[in-house]
């Protein structure tokens, strides 16, 4: 016959027995039979992985350029509810700390704890969490949650939370970001089209400036019959004996 405390954990929550205490202690992933509540087997974030993180090296000049592009993007406009610009002053402060205080440029390693970021920025934990979430929302950074395998004092298998592994993302992958330093994309109708040439008179003048002969300049003037002025100058050259 089944124990009533196992069948109705909430109904018999106040009747704690030695057996139920033993089961809930040995199997932390089941409901707590003393009060009917359930909880996670280990105190780690959902999606945490035990796999090793692979960091990508980032030269210091590249990291500095990324930060300055973020500052410039922040200045472009104001958003309601975001203090200090499009990104926000606390968010930029956290990004500055990640790049200039914690990023190992040679290995790319970037895995500070929340407490370490708090000490450097002097921001509260909640502000740091919001700033990191904002950076990820904009595509400026990304992270993976990590944990490690361990055993508790009684020898039972447990997972323990580790610090996040962060990555700085290039500006080309930022959300809705337009690099003003990049040349404008040509219109599709101009792809493969021959760029327009300067007027014949300018071409003839360039020939002379580059050391070409009068005959070569006059010949260039005579290449387009629709250009009346150039054709008249070419005719004058022939009259003067310039061939």
For residues 3 and 18, the answer to whether their CB atoms sit within 8 Å is no
Least confident of 26-40, 63-77, 103-117, 176-190: 26-40
What pLDDT, in 10s, does the model give residues 163-173?
899 999 999 99
Distances in whole angstroms, Cα of residue 166 to Cα of each of 63, 81, 147:
14, 26, 14
- Flag whether pLDDT at 58 surpasses 80: yes
Percent of the chain whose predicted confidence (pLDDT) is above 90 = 35
Mode of pairing for the β-strands spanning 157-161 and 141-144:
unpaired
Fold of 60-173: Arc Repressor Mutant, subunit A (1.10.10)
Mean per-residue pLDDT, 214-222:
81
Domain ranges of the chain: 8-39, 60-173, 200-239
pLDDT at 100: 96
For residues 114 and 127, the answer to whether their CB atoms sit within 8 Å is no
For the chain, what is the mean pLDDT?
A: 79
| Contacts of residue 217, Cβ cutoff 8 Å, sequence gap at least 6 | 204, 205, 207, 208
pLDDT greater at residue 174 or residue 23: 174
| Contacts of residue 105, Cβ cutoff 8 Å, sequence gap at least 6 | 57, 58, 59, 60, 63
- Flag whether pLDDT at 127 surpasses 60: yes
Banded model confidence at residue 182, pLDDT cuts 50, 70, 90: low
pLDDT at 83: 58
Percent of the chain whose predicted confidence (pLDDT) is above 70 = 74
- Of 150, 146, 115, nearest to 129 (Cα)? 115
- pTM beyond 0.75: no
pLDDT greater at residue 109 or residue 38: 109
Banded model confidence at residue 14, pLDDT cuts 50, 70, 90: low
Mean per-residue pLDDT, 197-222:
81
pLDDT at 94: 97
């Amino acid at each position: 016959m089944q124990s009533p405390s196992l069948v109705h954990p909430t109904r018999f929550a106040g009747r704690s027995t030695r057996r139920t205490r033993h089961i809930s202690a040995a199997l932390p992933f089941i409901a707590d039979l003393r009060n009917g509540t359930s909880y996670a087997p280990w105190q780690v974030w959902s999606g945490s992985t035990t796999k090793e993180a692979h960091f990508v090296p980032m030269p210091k000049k590249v990291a500095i350029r990324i930060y300055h592009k973020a500052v410039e993007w922040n200045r472009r406009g104001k958003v309601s509810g975001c203090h200090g610009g499009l990104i926000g002053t606390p968010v930029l402060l956290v990004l500055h700390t990640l790049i200039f205080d914690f990023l190992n440029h040679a290995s790319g390693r970037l895995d500070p704890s929340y407490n370490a970021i708090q000490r450097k920025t002097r921001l509260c934990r909640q502000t740091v969490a919001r700033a990191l979430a904002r950076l990820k929302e904009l595509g400026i950074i990304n992270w993976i949650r990590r944990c490690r395998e361990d055993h508790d004092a009684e020898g039972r298998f447990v997972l323990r939370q580790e610090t996040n592994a962060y990555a700085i993302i290039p500006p080309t992958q930022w959300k809705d970001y337009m690099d003003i330093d990049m040349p404008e994309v040509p219109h599709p109708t101009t792809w493969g089209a021959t760029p327009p040439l300067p007027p014949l008179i300018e071409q003839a003048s360039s020939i002379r400036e580059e050391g070409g002969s009068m005959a070569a300049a006059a010949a260039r003037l005579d290449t387009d019959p629709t250009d009346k002025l150039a054709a008249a100058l070419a005719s004058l050259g022939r009259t003067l004996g310039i061939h």
